[in-house]
Amino acid sequence: MKNNIIKLFIVSVLIVTSVFAQAQEKDYSQLTKSQILKLTYEELIDLDFPVLLSLADIVGMSTDELLQLAIVSASREEESLIDAPLSVSVVTGEMIKRSGATSIPEALRLIPGVIVREQTPGVYDVHLRGMDAPDPNGLVNWTSNSLTLVMVNNRIVYNEYQGNISWELLQISIDDIEQIEVVKGPAAALYGTNAVTGAINILTKNPNRTEGVQVGTYSMMSTPNMVNTGVSVGYNFDNPFSVRFSSHYENRKRHYVDYYMMGSQPIDANGNNFIGASGNDTIGRVGFVTQLSQRNVNIVGGPMINADVPYINNDKNAGYNYNQNERFPNPDQSLNKYSFNGHINYLKDDIDLNLMGGYSNADVMKVFAINNMTALSTDVEHNMYGQLFGTVKDVNINIDYNSGAFETLGAGSALKGRSSTLAGDVFYNWQILDNFNLKPGVSYRTSNYYGRILGSEGYDYNTFSTTPGKGDRTNSTMSGYIRADFRISKSRIIGAVRADKFQYPDKTAISPQLVYTFKPSEDILMRASYGRAYRSPFMINLFTDIDMQYEGSFPSPSLEALSNMRQYPQAAGLPSFVPSMPGITPYYNASYKGTEVGYYDVKTQKNVKPDYDLMYTDEFELGVRLKGNKNISFDGEVFCAIYKDLDVFSRVVLYTDPLVTGNAATDAATLGWYYFGDPTTLTLNPEAPGHTEFNTYTTTSFVDSKVEPVQTGATLSVFGQPSNKFNYNVFVTLQQTYINGYYKLNSYNFVDETLGTETFKHEATPSYYGGFNFDYRPVEGLNINLNGYYYGPQTLKLSSGKESIVEEVEQNLLLNSTVSYEFYDNMKFFVSARNFATGAKRQFAIADIIGESYMFGLDIDF
Amino acid sequence: MKKLLGIIVCSVFFTAILNAQNEKFKALYIFNFTKYIEWSGEYKNGDFQIAVLGSSDVISALQTVAASKKVGEQPIVISKISSVEEIGVANIVYLPPSKSAKLSEVVNSLKGKQTLVISDTPDGSSQGAAINLVSVDNKQKFEIVKSAIESKGLKVSSALLSLGIAL
């Protein structure tokens, strides 16, 4: 890691110094807003009035005319939205605040093509165009989005563990946002791997954006029990420096408290659920309970013995004393977060450099990694980062470092880890001809992850004990890319290709992109594009290496039957199924292994490393933007994306004790294995002499699948500003996804290719979703906003690791209205009603009911 | 709750020292108008007076301009006035948005005088201002009423009319 830092530093210094002295005379027609704001009176006074007016136009860039908004994410250079070659949408900080949005993910509901579900108050699941939980037999952590590249000022912020986003860990709040740009569809050639369904780039306010003192706040309180405050101060000095500091605090309470149990719950001797507090709790199956007790059991029906200390009095013979308080120390709280962020800008002539840094800390209740018991888990996280980025003449640089830790409470230390990432990116903006631009670049990224899930046999919860040589993993990616942008007459052709060479797996991913746009007039742009993007390799795929042991259960009913299971006397506190084998204690051993770790194939007695084919998509898209009159404009697209090499995390080994001869092949012949493709030779002898334990072993790893989701759809936005008092934006996405080539599982839950494949419609992504946003300003200073977000019904299918889960989400319309009044220059007071129309519903199938809320707040920005 | 109150108090305090970017451009616009408009008689001699009614950050911006520039040979003098009577023989009077209610009174009091009235309110032109600073799509523009300028005996260049929104 130290060598990497030195390399990056040296490269950056060379680049910076080589171009430092090349500043040339100012061309006012090429100035950006930031550069204009740095001009002195002396420079401005001597300008001709027409030049001054043109500069004023740039400074006072409209926030209402969507198509004129300057964006950078579509081609990595500033251009008007109407010219953007890809499917891009943008929302400005000002629009977000007018809408009354209380968080960054909520603000994404103002953008077409984004699916946003509130899991618990203030905690969100965000997907671009879906592809959520594509594997109906996948574990719960595959419901989170790990196919979108989320960036803050081009700094990648996904979690190294799986590539998903902890939105609550961003060091910024809405108060910090200049604008959010969303590129839909593959954007890997521009940004790198993992921009599979698209990229979200959050651009923060630059302290050089205005003169002198800057003060901002976007703060609010609401029912039920939410406090959310972002505060910032900044100063733009007369010299090239400007600074800005901000902080954010947010605390939210849950609207309704219940939990989705991931394992069947026991019933007592009278057939009742142990909780017994309400009719809802007598489930005896997976489902919601309104409260947790010590008698709720985990996903396999009993307490975990190994690699887990989820309950007090951890004695496998003493009973089942789950400590729900450890998993949920604040059952009523969905989010508690605080963060700090700093930004120093240096802007002089052709040098525009930014140094940023921040820290965040969050306790959050969300659906991510299972805590062995409920869909919701409490995660405790923190993260810090530093970033240097900007341009020196025509060279664009970015260097960032971040490190953090997270822990899912109640899973022992199985889901507790630390990570750090160092990344650098340099590209040269080479304007060869007026109509021909090349951007060659290189980047490097190295990530380290340390945690028991990557290799541990220890128990020590407090010291992160890992097995020597395990648990500490590093992966690096070296990349090169080039992007060509050629304009001739009314046409524009963009070709880009990027190569990412990974350390693990030892493979190179080539991501090409080809875009053609045709602009017959200033008001129409037509575009066609093809792109390929790969999902990045993440720690969970590569290095997962954990072994867990549970008492008293078996992985499938058929096994239970075969092993002479019977109903144990229903003494309070005991689960339903415990095998009857006097003198023999049954254990269920579950192992999860990544592709670089491999697993022991008991049949061949060899370690197997599954081939890791990175998932990728090929996407084709046609779009048109039509700037009509001020009343109405259109932005529409149709898209088709084919996904290949979907991650399939499936059972690969299943066998039972006792080993009689010590030779697996002999044992297989005499005792029988429950094994993939060979489930028929079962001759089990659990009561073999000399054995006091009866173990069932399962291993889950990645299998090579031929699953090919195919997604087709269309998005249309209609917007306009019929008068200075009114502007609107309405958008809808219609889409469908079919999962082709889906493997079938045999009775032991193995992928079994001999059973053939099937095709089915993917229902976890709604087939329609969209929103609208209206602003009405009846008198100066008063803004009335009505915005809505709607989605169709969905069915979430996944596996708890033992049981299949199928849960519905109703169609929903979330209506919000915000009235803000500017009582003094750039100071607004606002009141807002959120989700007030359609009642309390679950937006994410296995998470919280989200009700309405009413809030008031203050918005200051100058 | 205490945190929120603290933020409100701090924010209000900082607003007092706000120096908005818009004011810089407004001052530069006003200075540039003088390049395209010709005064005569006593208005062409002595100081070139720009009066601003009430408080406005434009004043300090104008003062920065005045420190280094002249209108022809006339030194520029910026004065903050609090009533219509104080306008005197100012070449230009600027009414910031907060004083828009006084616009009709100012226009009426200046009939027959060469004082150019510049307003800064959406309906300023219809209330008689010769030039009105307006925000169009959040861009700083200006409306210009040729007849209102010429009725004061001032000459205005057609170039200025083409740069603004001529009404």
* Residue A69 confidence (pLDDT) above 70: no
* Residue A68 confidence (pLDDT) above 60: no
Contact assignment for B18 to A862 by CB distance below 8 Å: yes
* Residue B79 confidence (pLDDT) above 50: yes
Residue A269 carries which side chain, given as an amino acid letter? A
Q: What are phi and psi of B121, to 5 degrees?
A: -150, 150
**Interface residue A781 vs chain B (CB under 8 A):** no
Cα separation, A365 vs A847, whole angstroms: 9
Query: Which residue among B4, B20, B65 sits closest to A219, beta carbon to beta carbon?
Result: B4
CB atoms within 10 A of CB A564: 12
Cα separation, A244 vs A242, whole angstroms: 7
Contact assignment for B18 to A61 by CB distance below 8 Å: no
ipTM of the complex in this document: 0.86
Greater model confidence, A65 or A64: A65
DSSP helix/strand/coil, A668? helix
Task: Give pLDDT, residue A586.
Answer: 61
Query: Which residue among A62, A231, A858 sits closest to B139, beta carbon to beta carbon?
Result: A62
Instruction: Quickly count helices (H) and strands (E) in chain B.
Output: 6, 10
* Residue B161 confidence (pLDDT) above 60: yes
**Interface residue B69 vs chain A (CB under 8 A):** yes
Task: Give pLDDT, residue A462.
Answer: 36
Give which of A215, A305, A201 is closest to A585, Cα–Cα.
A305
Cα separation, A604 vs A690, whole angstroms: 26
For B68, nearest residue in chain A (alpha carbons): A42
The residues, ordered by sequence, that sit 6+ positions from B29 with a Cβ below 8 Å of its Cβ are A52, A56, B133, B140, B142
DSSP helix/strand/coil, A307? coil
Residue A426 carries which side chain, given as an amino acid letter? V
Residues A105-122, mean pLDDT to the nearest whole number? 96
**Interface residue A862 vs chain B (CB under 8 A):** yes
The residues, ordered by sequence, that sit 6+ positions from A829 with a Cβ below 8 Å of its Cβ are A820, A821, A823, A856, A857, A858, A859
Interface test with A, best of B10, B12, B14, B56 (most A CBs within 10 A): B14
Answer yes or no: are the C-beta atoms of B139 and A57 closer than 8 Å: yes
Task: Give pLDDT, residue B122.
Answer: 81
Give which of B27, B1, B17 is closest to B118, Cα–Cα.
B27
Task: Give pLDDT, residue A783.
Answer: 95
Give which of A796, A793, A800, A862 is closest to A827, Cα–Cα.
A862
* Residue A232 confidence (pLDDT) above 50: yes
Query: Which residue among A52, A62, A227 sits closest to B138, beta carbon to beta carbon?
Result: A62
Q: Is A543 buried (19+), middle (13-18) or exposed (0-12) by CB count in 10 A?
A: buried
Task: Give pLDDT, residue B82.
Answer: 84
- Tell me the pLDDT tens digit for each residue of A601-627: 766 778 889 888 899 999 999 999 988
Identify the top-confidence range among A452-456, A555-559, A650-654, B57-61: B57-61
Interface test with B, best of A28, A33, A45 (most B CBs within 10 A): A45
Residues A177-181, mean pLDDT to the nearest whole number? 92
> Could you tell me what percent of chain A has a pLDDT over 90?
47
Residues A520-546, mean pLDDT to the nearest whole number? 91
**Interface residue A103 vs chain B (CB under 8 A):** no
The residues, ordered by sequence, that sit 6+ positions from A53 with a Cβ below 8 Å of its Cβ are B163
Answer yes or no: are the C-beta atoms of A660 and A688 closer than 8 Å: yes
**What's the sign of the alpha-carbon dihedral A97, A103, A108, A109?**
negative
How would residue A324 be classed by pLDDT, with cut points 50, 70 and 90? low
Taking CA atoms, A728 is separated from A342, A468, A632, A712, in Å, by 34, 60, 9, 27
Strand arrangement of the beta sheet that strand A155-156 belongs to: A87-92, A177-184, A198-204, A148-152, A155-156
Task: Give pLDDT, residue A313.
Answer: 36
Taking CA atoms, A556 is separated from A319, A546, A593, A678, in Å, by 23, 21, 20, 16
Contact assignment for A41 to B22 by CB distance below 8 Å: no
Residues A662-675, mean pLDDT to the nearest whole number? 40
CATH code assigned to B20-166? 3.40.50.2300
Poorest-confidence range of A75-79, A358-362, A468-472, A590-594?
A75-79
Task: Give pLDDT, residue A797.
Answer: 92
Task: Give pLDDT, residue B16.
Answer: 31
- C-alpha distance from A45 to closest chain B C-alpha (Å): 7
Cβ–Cβ pairs < 8 A, chains A and B: 108
Greater model confidence, A756 or A337: A337
Query: Which residue among B8, B28, B35 sits closest to A858, beta carbon to beta carbon?
Result: B8
Enumerate residues 78 to 117 of chain B having a beta carbon within 8 A of any beta carbon in chain A. none
Cα separation, A692 vs A657, whole angstroms: 10
Classify the phi-psi angles of B21: left when phi > 0, otherwise alpha if psi is within -120 to 50, otherwise beta.
alpha
- Tell me the pLDDT tens digit for each residue of A810-837: 999 999 999 999 998 889 999 999 999 8
Cα separation, A54 vs A106, whole angstroms: 35
Task: Give pLDDT, residue A13.
Answer: 44
How would residue A398 be classed by pLDDT, with cut points 50, 70 and 90? very high
Cα separation, A258 vs B80, whole angstroms: 65
pLDDT, averaged across chain B: 82
- Tell me the pLDDT tens digit for each residue of B108-144: 889 888 999 999 988 888 888 999 998 776 678 899 9
Asked if residue A224 has a cis previous peptide bond (ω within 30° of 0), the answer is: yes
Task: Give pLDDT, residue A716.
Answer: 95
* Residue A425 confidence (pLDDT) above 80: yes
For A723, nearest residue in chain B (alpha carbons): B137
* Residue B158 confidence (pLDDT) above 80: yes
Cα separation, A381 vs A169, whole angstroms: 7
Give which of A502, A476, A361 is closest to A420, Cα–Cα.
A476
Instruction: Quickly count helices (H) and strands (E) in chain A.
Output: 11, 48
Task: Give pLDDT, residue A70.
Answer: 58
Identify the top-confidence range among A135-149, A250-264, A345-359: A345-359
Contact assignment for A229 to B137 by CB distance below 8 Å: no
- Tell me the pLDDT tens digit for each residue of A287-296: 887 777 655 6
Query: Which residue among A50, A56, A215 sits closest to B11, beta carbon to beta carbon?
Result: A215
Residue A427 carries which side chain, given as an amino acid letter? F
Contact assignment for B137 to A50 by CB distance below 8 Å: no
Domain ranges of chain B: 20-166
**Interface residue A213 vs chain B (CB under 8 A):** yes
Residues A160-166, mean pLDDT to the nearest whole number? 89
**Interface residue A246 vs chain B (CB under 8 A):** no
How would residue A77 be classed by pLDDT, with cut points 50, 70 and 90? low
* Residue A438 confidence (pLDDT) above 50: yes
Task: Give pLDDT, residue A67.
Answer: 54
Residues A250-273, mean pLDDT to the nearest whole number? 74
Domain ranges of chain A: 2-257+332-543+614-648+705-861, 259-327+545-593+649-702
* Residue A676 confidence (pLDDT) above 80: no
Residues A351-365, mean pLDDT to the nearest whole number? 96
Residues A498-526, mean pLDDT to the nearest whole number? 93
Give which of A365, A363, A355, A369 is closest to A411, Cα–Cα.
A369
* Residue A382 confidence (pLDDT) above 90: yes
* Residue B1 confidence (pLDDT) above 60: no
Cα separation, B26 vs B62, whole angstroms: 9
Q: What is the dihedral of CA B85, B90, B92, B95, to 10 degrees?
A: -20
Query: Which residue among B31, B135, B160 sits closest to A45, beta carbon to beta carbon?
Result: B31
Poorest-confidence range of A7-21, A135-149, A533-547, A742-756?
A7-21
Total residue count of chain A as it appears in this document: 862
Query: Which residue among A49, A212, A233 sits closest to B163, beta carbon to beta carbon?
Result: A49
Chain A residues lying within 8 Å of B65, measured CB to CB? 41, 45
Task: Give pLDDT, residue A171.
Answer: 97
**Interface residue A434 vs chain B (CB under 8 A):** no
Contact assignment for B24 to A213 by CB distance below 8 Å: no
| Side-chain-facing half-sphere of A158: CA atoms under 13 Å | 27
How would residue A27 be classed by pLDDT, with cut points 50, 70 and 90? low
pLDDT, averaged across chain A: 80
Cα separation, A140 vs A146, whole angstroms: 13
Answer yes or no: are the C-beta atoms of A108 and A356 closer than 8 Å: no
Greater model confidence, A302 or A673: A302
**Interface residue A249 vs chain B (CB under 8 A):** yes
Give which of A699, A539, A547, A696 is closest to A608, Cα–Cα.
A699
Token pair listed for A292: 């947790």
Query: Which residue among B15, B21, B36 sits closest to A211, beta carbon to beta carbon?
Result: B21
Cα separation, B7 vs B12, whole angstroms: 9
Contact assignment for A826 to B1 by CB distance below 8 Å: no
Task: Give pLDDT, residue A412.
Answer: 57
* Residue A107 confidence (pLDDT) above 90: yes
DSSP for A221-256, please give it.
EEETTEEEEEEEEEEE-SSSEEEEEEEEEEEEE-SS
Residues A621-635, mean pLDDT to the nearest whole number? 87
**Interface residue A860 vs chain B (CB under 8 A):** yes
Cα separation, A21 vs A764, whole angstroms: 56
What does the DSSP 8-state code read for residue A660? S
* Residue A42 confidence (pLDDT) above 80: no
* Residue B146 confidence (pLDDT) above 80: yes
Task: Give pLDDT, residue A321.
Answer: 41
Greater model confidence, A549 or A533: A533
DSSP helix/strand/coil, A4? helix
CATH code assigned to A2-257+332-543+614-648+705-861? 2.40.170.20
Cα separation, A176 vs A234, whole angstroms: 11
**Interface residue B68 vs chain A (CB under 8 A):** yes
DSSP helix/strand/coil, A176? helix
Poorest-confidence range of A236-245, A442-451, A601-610?
A601-610
Element (H, E) at A334: strand A333-348
Give which of A860, A862, A857 is closest to A220, Cα–Cα.
A857
H-assigned helices in A180-317:
188-191
Residue A196 carries which side chain, given as an amino acid letter? V
